[in-house]
Amino acid sequence: MKRFRRTAVVVAAGVAVVVLPAVPAGAGGGADHGQGGPVVTVATGLDGPRQLNDYRGNRVVVAESDSGEVSSVSLRSGKVESLLSGLFSPQGVDYDRGRLYVATGGPPPPEEGGAPGAPPPGASSLVVAEPGGGVLQTIDLLAYELAANPDGQLQFGPDGAPVDALSNPFAVLAQGRRVLVADAGANAVLSVDARTGEVSTFFVPPVVTDVPGCETAENNPGTVGCDPVPTGITEGPHGRVYVSTLGAEVPGAGRVYVLSSRGRVVDVIDGLTSPTGLAVDRRGTVYVSNVIEGAPQGAPGPDFDPATIGEVTRVPARGARSTAQVAMPTGLLVRDGDLYASAWSIAAFLQLPAGRGEIVRVGRGAFTPVGG
């Protein structure tokens, strides 16, 4: 959970960068302490690490989508400890008041021309659990999508009947009485009452039509433009909520929406491409991960280095943007002034070996000016 308090050291959420091959696995602390240029590997052996958040002591919590686990990671030793297992595709996680809040993803799409099957148990849900204990509650977010259809878009099933059956919860922000969930399938940010489990709509980002490639883009029936697709959510200064949206991977169609605590748009950061997560520090600097940038358009050549896929964009409150090359980053976190990220988060998609995922810490010197 992110809290910005006037009387305490502010803990926000931050950035990441590519893991350098020369850094040994499980390097732990490292002399740089995140303030200079070198990128330090904090932990290895993760499977599809996605969202990062604060946990107990010197540890962070991470959702491992490929292994079905939620794990804690020591930022000092690099030790990884499983807190939950047997989940369906955990993608987002936050920790608040002794409980874990986990967003589980939706099932893969059916084969072309085939009918969708029944969703696996626990898919498209917000799971509430005790660390190392049992699941306390599973809140079905697909059921809310089917009943409320927050984005108003229609699809058509195999029988021709209109349906809207997409729910792919991707990131979580626990805020005491409520839990906000960025649902990438529903094109909406949902609010879940932490006491009752009641689901409501917090924010629906608009379809993007004002960038080249989106003006006449084909979408669901009756919709033109690039789907916004919420991917990241965090809390920033003054209680504002920040939401990153993918923009259908069209260059420049990605956004970060700055919202009031009630979901009103306060500001929009545009000109981004394929955001997959974000973080905000106490000065209002926004960090946006991009797991797609640098991916080959066709089959990669023999000299292609998968570590070149991905980057993080740094957007200061004032001044020019800068970027750092990252290895497939998704989750971002700033802790005690250091910047962390989950890296190699889509390694399985590229058929890389299991356990390739990492948590890394990056120094400020890794960022270079955009266009520089």
Q: Is the pLDDT of residue 203 over 50?
A: yes
Q: Is the pLDDT of residue 136 over 90?
A: yes
> Phi then psi for 163, rounded to 5 degrees?
-140, 160
pLDDT of residue 271: 94
pLDDT category at 304 given cuts 50, 70, 90 is confident
Q: Cα–Cα distance between 326 and 267 in angstroms, integer?
A: 27
CATH class name, domain 59-321: mainly beta
Q: Is the pLDDT of residue 22 over 50?
A: no
Burial label, 180 (beta-carbon count in 10 A; 0-12, 13-18, 19+): buried
In this prediction, what percent of the chain has a pLDDT beyond 70?
84
pLDDT category at 12 given cuts 50, 70, 90 is very low
Q: Is the pLDDT of residue 164 over 80?
A: no
Q: Is the pLDDT of residue 234 over 90?
A: yes
What are the pLDDT digits (tens) for 274-294? Answer: 999 999 999 999 999 998 877
User: What distance lies between CA 285 and its chain's CA centroid?
Assistant: 17
pLDDT category at 359 given cuts 50, 70, 90 is very high
The model carries a pTM of 0.88
Q: Which residues of 7-43 are buried (b: 16+ CB within 10 A; e: fewer)?
A: eeebbbbbbbbbbeeebeeebbeeebebeeebbbbbb
Q: Is the pLDDT of residue 126 over 70?
A: yes
Angle at 279 between CA 17 and CA 257, to 5 degrees: 125
Each domain of the chain, given as residue ranges in start order, spans 59-321
Q: Is the pLDDT of residue 340 over 60?
A: yes
Q: What is the arithmetic mean of pLDDT over 300-316?
A: 87
CB 290 within 8 A of CB 317: no
More confident: 238 or 219: 238
CB 315 within 8 A of CB 269: yes
Q: Does an H or E element contain 362, and which? A: strand 357-362
